[in-house]
Amino acid sequence: MYRTKTCGELRLTDAGQQVTLAGWVQKTRKMGGMTFVDLRDRYGITQLVFDESKDAALCEQANKLGREWCIQVTGTVSERQAKNPKMETGDIEILAAQLNVLSDAVEELGKSLGGVFGDMTEEDAKALIQNLTQGVDEGKLMEAYMTMKKEPKAEEAEAQDDGE
């Protein structure tokens, strides 16, 4: 199954359930033997926890994740020790048991650039993706898109002026 729940719907009442989520990596944080990943889909954000003491190989796999990678995770909903009141899902986290990388953003960037990275290393590509996506405000992007859509293209404006 692709997913059993969305990132924005899990609450404390779901604690103990095994779930499968899919989405994009918003950010990762490494603290001691733990890796925390904020997973995002169109419905919200859920924190994932990879514990090196429980599964070192899985934690190592999570340590390789980069921003905007598309992943699928299966794990158990657990109450967070340090709750985050700023997030709708801030009372829970997912204790990850399985990780499946659906799409590597670095690889996808390479494809979109025609496979040409030049001398760019994988770390440089990850940094580029981080810089391109950090602080992107979807509302501002939509506003810019709508503005461009409303403004007539220069060629169209000239054609209208010429009576075509």
Helix (H) or strand (E) holding 19: strand 18-31
| Planar angle of CA 37, 105, 141, nearest 5 degrees | 90
Provide the pLDDT for residue 68: 84
Q: What is the Cα–Cα distance from 156 to 162, expressed in whole angstroms? A: 10
pLDDT of 72: 97
From the centroid of its chain, how far is CA 73? 12
Q: What is the distance between the alpha carbons of residues 30 and 34, in angstroms, rounded to a whole number?
A: 6
Q: Could you read off the pLDDT of 20-38 as tens digits, one per residue?
A: 999 999 999 999 899 999 9
Q: Model confidence over 109-143: pLDDT tens digits?
A: 665 555 555 556 666 666 666 666 665 555 554 55
Mean pLDDT of 66-75: 92
List of domains in the chain: 1-103 (2.40.50.140), 105-151 (no CATH)
> Per-residue pLDDT tens for 59-70?
999 999 988 889
For CA atoms 14, 17, 20, 23, give the dihedral sign.
positive
Angle at 50 between CA 109 and CA 124, to 5 degrees: 25
Q: Helix, strand, coil: what percent of the chain each, to 5?
A: 30, 30, 35
